[in-house]
Amino acid sequence: MALNGWVLVIAAAQIAVLLATSTRYGYHRDELYFIVAGSHPAFGYPDQPPLVPLSSWAMNAVAAGSLLALRTPSALAAGVTTVLAALIAREVGGSRRAQVIAAGCTAVSAFPLAVGHFVTTTTFDLLSTTALGWLAIRAIVRGGGACLLAAGVVVGIGVEAKPQVGLVAAVMVLTLLVLGPRWPLRSRWAAGGALAAAALAAPMSSGSSSTAGRS
């Protein structure tokens, strides 16, 4: 079943609204911190991974002082999360109408709207966790091993924004061990995904430790 085109319309409308209202208030203190931290490139910081500080610094470097530019990645992440919610509905057997309902509910929910309005690590944590859920469900429903590898990549990149997605992945693995199905855990794709996650997350771990030591 193809993705309902209205899902993309809903996501685009969500992004447009977030961008249109993104300059109606000044900097959040965390945004200022991200820009300053990102101006000192590192693999990690004592309090968080590097992805959000580095991306915030880059957006500010492209358009200095522009709240619209700074907050555009957050708005886009919120829109992609909305599309992923519809894809999850499709994977579990939802009709085209169910896809639209899932997208609509996600787009107007308080949490995605809040974290899509400004720069925060939680925005990208929501995105990576939703993407992980979609890939895990798709792998189990369709028997798609490649999705397990992709899930590992998502976890590794997601950890570089906020480590909580790693905890979600661990809970998923534990759930499969206890309740099944267990075949995904025996797949070489799962092993590859675990290696990819560890490799992508490794710079954050080493960077945070070294930065903490210098401080």
- Per-residue model confidence as pLDDT tens digits over 4-16: 899 999 999 999 9
pLDDT classification of 209: cutoffs 50, 70, 90: low
196 contacts: CB under 8 Å, gap ≥ 6: 149, 152, 153, 156
Q: Taking the CA of residue 111 as centre, how many other CA atoms within 13 Å lie in the half-sphere pointing to its CB?
A: 10
What are the φ/ψ torsions at residue 162 (nearest 5 degrees)? -160, 130
Q: How far is CA 33 from CA 43, 52, 59, 138, 164, in A?
A: 16, 10, 14, 38, 21
Q: What is residue 45's predicted lDDT score, i.e. its pLDDT?
A: 87
Letter string b/e over residues 93-120, b meaning 16 or more CB atoms within 10 A of that residue's CB: ebebeebbebbbebbeeeebbebbbbbb
pLDDT at 211 over 70: no
pLDDT classification of 207: cutoffs 50, 70, 90: low
Q: What is residue 2's predicted lDDT score, i.e. its pLDDT?
A: 82
The residue-averaged pLDDT of 83-96 equals 96
Q: What is residue 47's predicted lDDT score, i.e. its pLDDT?
A: 86
Count of residues for the chain? Answer: 215
pLDDT digits (tens, 9 = 90+) for 128-138: 999 999 999 99
Q: What is residue 206's predicted lDDT score, i.e. its pLDDT?
A: 62
Q: What is residue 1's predicted lDDT score, i.e. its pLDDT?
A: 73
Nearest partner of 116 among 16, 204, 6, judged by Cα: 16
* Number of neighbours of residue 168 by Cβ within 10 angstroms: 17
45 contacts: CB under 8 Å, gap ≥ 6: 37, 53, 207, 208, 211
Cα 90 to Cα 98: distance, rounded to the nearest angstrom: 8
- As a dihedral over the C-alpha atoms of residue 112, residue 116, residue 118, residue 124, rounded to 10 degrees, the angle is 90
Amino acid 127 reads L
Residue pair 204/158 in contact by the 8 Å Cβ criterion:
no
Number of domains in the chain: 1
The residue-averaged pLDDT of 114-122 equals 95
Q: What is residue 26's predicted lDDT score, i.e. its pLDDT?
A: 93
Cα 215 to Cα 203: distance, rounded to the nearest angstrom: 18
pLDDT digits (tens, 9 = 90+) for 151-192: 999 999 999 999 999 999 999 999 999 998 999 999 999 999
Which domain covers residue 119, as residue numbers? 5-214
Residue pair 77/116 in contact by the 8 Å Cβ criterion:
yes
Q: What is residue 128's predicted lDDT score, i.e. its pLDDT?
A: 97
pLDDT digits (tens, 9 = 90+) for 28-77: 999 999 999 999 999 888 888 999 999 999 999 999 999 999 999 999 99
pLDDT classification of 215: cutoffs 50, 70, 90: very low
pLDDT digits (tens, 9 = 90+) for 97-117: 999 999 999 999 999 999 999
pLDDT classification of 147: cutoffs 50, 70, 90: very high
Residue pair 211/46 in contact by the 8 Å Cβ criterion:
yes
